[in-house]
Amino acid sequence: MQKRKLGKSNLEVSAIGLGCMGMSFSYGPPKDKKEMTDLLHAAVDRGITFFDTAEVYGPFTNEELVGEALAPFRGKVVIATKFGFDLGGSDNRPGAAGVNSRPEHIKQAVEGSLKRLKVESIDLLYQHRVDPNVPIEDVAGAVKELIAAGKVKHFGMSEAGVRTIRRAHAVQPLTALQSEYSLWWRKPEQEVIPMLEELGIGFVPYSPLGKGFLTGKIDSNAKFESTDFRSTLPRFTPEALKVNQALIDLLGTIAKRKNATPAQIALAWLLAQKPWIVPIPGTTKLNRLEENIGAVSVELTPNDLSEIEAAAANIQVEGDRYPEKLEKMTGL
């Protein structure tokens, strides 16, 4: 497995990471613990060293799963987790819990994450969503103190906007930004990616396969259970899925030529954008894990990338990526 460094931080990770959320949360009922433990071990065996979780996933159960499964590989893997939600209410779906990044809450959250992950120091700690009620300087200052205390190694943010990132970075340099980025959500290209390059911050795209859509396995007849987060997303209505199929057709055309799959082309496209981009596709299946890892070996030439660019420019993606309430929580 190739390695990449996240920005100027020298934090080296596998070129593709593993998003662990869906093992416990958000995409239907929690999966079998033993099966997911086996999958996490299989990922390590195949060279993945970068794993992504958060206290809100479950809540708490995903960190417990990841912490227990990866305990034998301490020091050989990098585990990223996130703080920033008020937990404890009955409704813990993504975005249902309110944000909370008060410094005392961050410190409390970190103590919980350390226990669940069974580590003495968190490799990479993200603010999950910007809290408009807490100055970002206070958030970065709290993480700076945690780094000084040896409880955290690297600071990151998720779905933050450029002004907020600059202000945070001035207090405690960021190692990585995690935000959605893929061929069907390219907004980070406008302001965020140029700023990350300027400041030397790595980029960790979540949903690099468009929450499963870019695998080509979801069509307009797809039905999502109420426990599946996608049932609430405008981009996953039958009408939107039908229109957005044009993107799958494009990926499929390139995939045939490269003897690859649409998912592999979507990931290879991301890897080709910048050397400090590390996508974290999530999966609960071994064959998908292996397929995703295979993307590292797919080489897209400048001509391939130009062709994808020209074709994608003519495709209008249908549907908002989030309902309005959740979209308001991004890009502050």
pLDDT digits (tens, 9 = 90+) for 215-227: 999 988 888 988 8
* Percentage of the chain modeled with pLDDT above 90: 82
Report the pLDDT averaged over residues 173-177: 98
Task: Lowest mean pLDDT of 33-47, 80-94, 148-162, 232-246, name the range.
Answer: 80-94
What was the pLDDT predicted at 109? 97
φ and ψ at 14, to 5 degrees? -65, 150
Report the pLDDT averaged over residues 144-172: 98
Distance, in Å, from the CA atom of 105 to the CA atom of 99, rounded to the nearest integer, reads: 11
Task: Lowest mean pLDDT of 1-10, 42-51, 94-103, 178-187, name the range.
Answer: 94-103
Report the pLDDT averaged over residues 302-331: 87
What was the pLDDT predicted at 28? 81
What was the pLDDT predicted at 89? 56
Residue 115 domain-assigned (yes or no):
yes
Does the bond joining 59 to the residue before it have cis omega, within 30 degrees of 0? yes
Q: What is the pLDDT of residues 291-308, one digit of tens each?
A: 999 999 999 999 999 999
Distance, in Å, from the CA atom of 81 to the CA atom of 118, rounded to the nearest integer, reads: 13
Residue 314 domain-assigned (yes or no):
no
What was the pLDDT predicted at 96? 64
Distance, in Å, from the CA atom of 15 to the CA atom of 275, rounded to the nearest integer, reads: 9
pLDDT at 154 over 70: yes
Which residues span the domain enclosing 73? Answer: 3-211+273-298
The token duo for 86 is 């008020």
Residue 201 domain-assigned (yes or no):
yes
Residue 27 domain-assigned (yes or no):
yes
Residue 57 domain-assigned (yes or no):
yes
What was the pLDDT predicted at 36? 98
What was the pLDDT predicted at 91? 54
Band of the pLDDT at 332, cuts 50, 70, 90?
low
Residue 225 domain-assigned (yes or no):
no
* Percentage of the chain modeled with pLDDT above 70: 97
What was the pLDDT predicted at 88? 67
| Residue 144 belongs to domain with CATH number | 3.20.20.100
pLDDT at 249 over 80: yes
CA distance readout (Å), 210 to 89, 182, 321:
29, 7, 9
Pairing mode, strands 122-127 and 18-19: unpaired
Q: Are 285 and 209 in contact (CB under 8 A)?
A: no
Residue 242 domain-assigned (yes or no):
no
Distance, in Å, from the CA atom of 241 to the CA atom of 221, rounded to the nearest integer, reads: 9
What was the pLDDT predicted at 171? 98
Q: What is the pLDDT of residues 62-113, one digit of tens each?
A: 999 999 999 999 999 999 999 999 986 555 555 567 899 999 999 999 999 9
What was the pLDDT predicted at 95? 53
Report the pLDDT averaged over residues 119-137: 97
Q: Indicate which residues carry an active-site annotation.
A: 57
Domain count, the chain: 1
How much is the mean pLDDT over the chain?
A: 94
The token duo for 41 is 């071990």
Q: Residue 14 pairs with which residues in a beta bridge?
A: 3
pTM above 0.75, yes or no: yes
Report the pLDDT averaged over residues 305-331: 87
Residue 47 domain-assigned (yes or no):
yes
Q: Which residues contact 181 (CB under 8 A, 6 or more apart)?
A: 188, 203, 205, 206, 208, 270, 277, 279
